Structure 1
Amino acid sequence: MSGPVALVTGAAGGLGTAVLAALDHDGFTVVGVDVAPVAGRCAESHRVDVRDGAALRELAADVVARHGRLDAVVAAAAVMDGGTPLWETPDEVVDELWDVDARGVWNTARACVPHLLASPDPRQARFVAIASAAGEHGMFGLAAYTVAKHAVVGVVRGLAADLVGTGVAAVAVSPGAMRTPMLTRTAELYGLEGEAGVAELASHQGLRRALDPTEVARVVALACSPAGAALNGSVVNADGGFGL
């Protein structure tokens, strides 16, 4: 058997890339997954769309066949769109956000959790989904995104209930404003541009600055660690004090 193996979706940029580095630092053999090329610190990468459940199941089985185990899964793949009130939000925006941000986490769990249960020590196995401050708060002009991220929290809580007694832990990590392309995109949806727009969004956090993805990635790595068992079924608000 090799050392612990982790699979990370949404690995081509932003928080996903930072998570690759954090888990690599912690001794995981890391498999990066994205629809775009993955250039971060990982042992191998694969171009897979999280909307394709069959492809994810095939990939997870292949990873286990080659590495002998799967110990941690981080479902970080997500997209951002919006900028209009709920009643003006186009159906295609709702469909994409639901299919990638919510159903993508469901697909990832369905593909990977059976392998976590079969890991050499399920008590050390972790499923971590990236939610958002929008998983707890309503966001102006981002109703569809808010719905999708609330669903991510629901997936984790339902999964944790299903995993009772198995030793495997399921955790949601909810970042606030991070200095990533998604934050820039969010600012644009609000008509805010450049560094001033990013600063305006970050001003809603108690830290009064945007988080660096590496800061949130360390929280994700904690959730993937042996100590992460204590977080089972929880939503960890790594949001710099959103709303303070």
Structure 2
Amino acid sequence: MTGAAGGIGSATVRTLAAQGYRVVGYDVLDAPAADGGVHVVGDVTDRAELKGAVDLAVERWGRLDAVVAAAAVIAGGQPLWETPDEQLDELWDVDARGVWNTAAAAVPAMLAGPDPSRGRFVAIASAAAHQGLFGLAGYNAAKHAVVGIVKGLAADLVGTGVTACAVSPGSTRTPMLDATAAIYGLPDPETFASHQLLRRLLGPDEVAATIAFCCSREGAVLNGSVVHADGGFS
């Protein structure tokens, strides 16, 4: 589980642990390990570090059933033509290449496991993967790429039993939403609630419950799909 130290990531760690999973959390920040699990400090831009976390899971528990790629950053506040190269590089390296690296490190372990039909790869995209949000062209591009990575991966996995899907949350009460509000100069992220048909922000645990279903045996039906857990974002 990458991006495990906060927001939707930490909520997903708790949810999976409560369902009996032994979770290897992975993040650039330290965090408490889930019950029965372990937390690894590492960077999704480093495939060798990711491979080490995968190896740890297999060594401890003999198999890898589900992988959730949730690590992400957000940046923006200017139009595309004024976006600094270093900002685009970070968004691309963490939000898109980080998902790619996670899949490249983890999928072979699921394929080599005792029952590949249990294998689930779940990437966290965003409502920004389906919308054009002003001042966030770089973030839009990276999250659109996440959807493309998952769809290509699902095609590559045909006949193996391992599946891949994405979850696109809407505005969720997390530190990243606070950062988004700051980018737009908004005093309160509650403003974003008006862009969702639910007319409220989502809770991280609500999104985590959707992610957990994607990780389940029953979640196989979502192979190659994008689940819009966005409260009717528009």
TM-score bucket (shorter structure): over 0.9
The root-mean-square deviation of aligned C-alpha atoms, in Å, is: 0.9
1:242 aligns with 2:218: no
Moved more, 60-69 or 173-182: 60-69
Cα-to-partner distance string for 1:10-60 (whole Å, 9 max, x where unaligned): 000000000001101111011100000122525101001000011111221
Structure 1 match to 2:45: 51
1:41 aligns with 2:47: no
Match of 1:124 among 113, 118, 121: 118
1:223 aligns with 2:214: yes
Structure 1 segments of 4+ aligned residues over 6 angstroms from their partners: none
Contact 1:129 1:173 in 2 (8 A): yes
Structure 2 match to 1:24: 17
Contact 2:11 2:205 in 1 (8 A): yes
Cα-to-partner distance string for 1:159-205 (whole Å, 9 max, x where unaligned): 00000000111010000000000000001100101xxx312112100
Q: How many residues align?
A: 233
Contact 2:26 2:53 in 1 (8 A): no
What is the DSSP-based 3-state SS (H/G/I as helix, E as strand, rest coil) of the residue aligned with 1:36?
Answer: coil
Contact 2:197 2:233 in 1 (8 A): yes
Match of 2:6 among 13, 27, 44: 13
Contact 1:78 1:100 in 2 (8 A): yes
Contact 1:138 1:146 in 2 (8 A): yes
Structure 2 match to 1:151: 145
Structure 2 match to 1:138: 132
Contact 2:2 2:26 in 1 (8 A): yes
Structure 2 match to 1:77: 71
> Any stretches of 5+ residues in structure 1 without a counterpart?
1-7
What is the DSSP-based 3-state SS (H/G/I as helix, E as strand, rest coil) of the residue aligned with 1:127?
Answer: strand
Percent of aligned pairs sharing the same letter: 62
Contact 1:12 1:40 in 2 (8 A): no
Contact 1:160 1:170 in 2 (8 A): yes
What is the DSSP-based 3-state SS (H/G/I as helix, E as strand, rest coil) of the residue aligned with 2:166?
Answer: strand
TM-score, with length taken from structure 1: 0.94
Equivalences for residues 92-131 of structure 1 within 5 A: 92-131=86-125
Contact 1:11 1:40 in 2 (8 A): no
What is the DSSP-based 3-state SS (H/G/I as helix, E as strand, rest coil) of the residue aligned with 2:23?
Answer: strand
Moved more, 157-166 or 35-44: 35-44
Q: 1-side partners of 2:71 and 2:113: how far apart?
A: 23
Structure 1 match to 2:199: 208
Contact 2:33 2:39 in 1 (8 A): no
Q: 1-side partners of 2:32 and 2:75: how far apart?
A: 25
Moved more, 115-124 or 127-136: 115-124
